[in-house]
Amino acid sequence: MGLANLALGMKYRGDERTSELLLTQDMIRQLAFEAQFRNMNIGEFVGELLIAIMKRDLFQHVLLEPNSKQP
C-alpha cells in the first residue's frame, strides 16, 4: 500500500489555494478510521472537523506544538 497525503483546497473570491496538511501516516489512518466509523469519506470528515474547530475558536489550541506552552 502506498503512502497517503492529505491536502486542503480552498477557494475564496475566485482565488484558489491548496495546502498540504502535515500529518503523519498514523494521523491520516486515524482520520480515515473515524470517518469510516461515521459513514463519511475522509474529505467530509476533515471538513466537519475544520468547521467545529472554527465554531469553537480552537485554532490556537489545535496548532500549538505538543511541548510548547500556551500564552
Q: Where are the alpha helices (DSSP H) in the chain?
A: 25-37, 42-55, 59-63
Separation CA 61–CA 64 (nearest Å): 6
pLDDT tens-digit map of 30-59: 999 999 999 999 989 988 998 998 899 887
| Residue in the block written with cell 489512518 | 29
Residue 65 is predicted with a pLDDT of: 60
Considering the entire predicted model, what is its pTM? 0.66
- What is the mean predicted confidence (pLDDT) over 13-38? 90
Residue 61 is predicted with a pLDDT of: 78
Residue 62 or 53, more confident: 53
Residue 27 is predicted with a pLDDT of: 87
Q: Please report, to the nearest 10 degrees, the dihedral formed by the alpha carbons of residues 49, 16, 22, 33 taken in order.
A: 40
pLDDT of 64 > 70? The answer is no
